[in-house]
A = this chain, B = another copy of it.
Amino acid sequence: MKGNQTKQTARTGMIARLVAVALSMAFAAVLEAAGPSTERGAFPLASWNDGASKKAIIDFVTRVTNAGGPDFVQPAERIAVFDNDGTLWAEQPMYFQFFFMLDRVKALAPQHPEWKTEEPFASVLKGDLRAVLAGGERALVQIGMATHAGTTTDEFGKIVGDWMATAKHPKTGRLLTEMVYQPMLELLAFLRASGFKTFIVTGGGIEFMRPWSARVYGVPPEQVIGSSIKTKYEMRDGKPMLVRLPEIDFVDDGPGKPVGIQTHIGRRPIAAFGNSDGDLQMLQWTTAGAGPRLALLVHHTDAEREYAYGRQSSIGRLDKALDEAQGRGWTVVDMKQDWKTIFPAVSREN
């Protein structure tokens, strides 16, 4: 029985490696088809400067994939989780989902004449963001519900997809989907080529990410975890619908991230990537497991090529997590030092 088991395990392992290679090829093809992000040699980590961060990543992946070594991890257990805002794409001057909310209020305004005088909508329509933000969390939730609820899931997916196809960044003029970090795209691809299953664990809306995560990151909808509002199943004219309700279901941020990971994945990741205090618990949870672990924080240090912010920022504050990273020896990426390029090269047809 034992010998037979060992043989089967070896065979399973061998086939698993074969699958990993096939998968990496498939994902490379998917990414290539997706656009410019990996047109130039993405393997392994071509846009990363040599240094402690790149070395930590490569050392970790080498250890967990070395079938003969003491730190070998079965492919099924190679789970990697990525925050989105500030980790995979930019989050300044404000979260991109907030741009969506503002544009959506404008698009819906003709159906809501009362918004001309009703706050916080009146301020949104006047473009007075300071007044909107002065309304605090309550105002943001009001705008969030008005722009995220009331549709079916199918309708909402189409709304987001259509918006994302043209929405541009106010500073760079790039499409928001081109405000992703080239080195992180390479990291996603490198991990998948090494047999990892990559998940996004975002404080943003789960259904806000799903319409484009496969195309932009190579992460399919079923591997996106995020904040959500409630949905309700109902029949309309004999056709089933999932209707989005104006009620918060789950907040996938801070201590919510390990909860979301458990709900969706059901096992502990071995690698976690974030950039702010909202990712602290995800990194704690990931690194508290037995065996080799990788925890990495992206520190925004490059005011010239992107933005420089951290301990004092209201968006993407990196304070407690930075202290903990230093104390625990987590990898901290210095964007200015560690990344050769920030954003992917983009070739425009027009």
Query: Residues of A with Cβ closer than 8 Å to B?
Result: 1, 5, 8-9, 11-12, 15-16, 18-19, 22-23, 25-26, 29-30, 32-33, 76, 79, 153, 197, 206-207, 210, 214, 220-224, 228, 231-234, 239-240, 242, 255-256, 258-259, 262-267, 281, 284-285, 288, 349
How far, in whole Å, are A197 and B12 apart by their CA atoms in the complex?
18
Given the known interface contacts A231-B259, A240-B258, the answer about A265 and B222 at a Cβ–Cβ threshold of 8 Å is yes
Note all chain B residues with C-beta closer than 8 A to A281. 233, 240
Asked whether, in the complex, the Cβ of B284 is within 8 Å of the Cβ of A258, the reply is no
Partner of A26, one of B12, B79, B239: B12
**Distance from A76 Cβ to chain B, minimum over Cβ atoms (Å):** 6
Residue of B nearest to A286 (CB): B240
A-B contact pairs, 19 of them (CB 8 A): A8-B29, A12-B26, A16-B26, A19-B23, A19-B25, A76-B214, A153-B262, A207-B266, A210-B266, A210-B267, A221-B266, A228-B263, A231-B262, A231-B263, A233-B255, A233-B285, A240-B258, A240-B285, A242-B259
- Interface of A, helix, strand, loop or mixed by DSSP: helix
Residue of B nearest to A15 (CB): B26
Partner of A22, one of B9, B18, B258, B259: B18
Note all chain B residues with C-beta closer than 8 A to A221. 265-267
Note all chain B residues with C-beta closer than 8 A to A265. 221-222
Note all chain B residues with C-beta closer than 8 A to A30. 12
Note all chain B residues with C-beta closer than 8 A to A222. 79, 197, 222-223, 264-267
How far, in whole Å, are A222 and B224 apart by their CA atoms in the complex?
11
Residue of B nearest to A220 (CB): B76
Residue of B nearest to A228 (CB): B263
Partner of A242, one of B15, B207, B258: B258
How far, in whole Å, are A12 and B214 apart by their CA atoms in the complex?
14
Best-surrounded residue of A12, A207, A240 (most CB of chain B within 10 A): A240
Given the known interface contacts A29-B11, A76-B220, A224-B266, the answer about A232 and B259 at a Cβ–Cβ threshold of 8 Å is yes
**Distance from A75 Cβ to chain B, minimum over Cβ atoms (Å):** 9
Note all chain B residues with C-beta closer than 8 A to A242. 258-259, 262, 285
Note all chain B residues with C-beta closer than 8 A to A255. 232-234
Besides the known contacts A8-B33, A18-B26, A240-B285, 5 further A-B residue pairs in the complex with CB atoms under 8 A apart: A222-B266, A233-B256, A233-B258, A233-B259, A240-B258
Note all chain B residues with C-beta closer than 8 A to A15. 22, 25-26, 29
How far, in whole Å, are A264 and B285 apart by their CA atoms in the complex?
21
How far, in whole Å, are A168 and B79 apart by their CA atoms in the complex?
33
Note all chain B residues with C-beta closer than 8 A to A23. 19
How far, in whole Å, are A232 and B263 apart by their CA atoms in the complex?
11
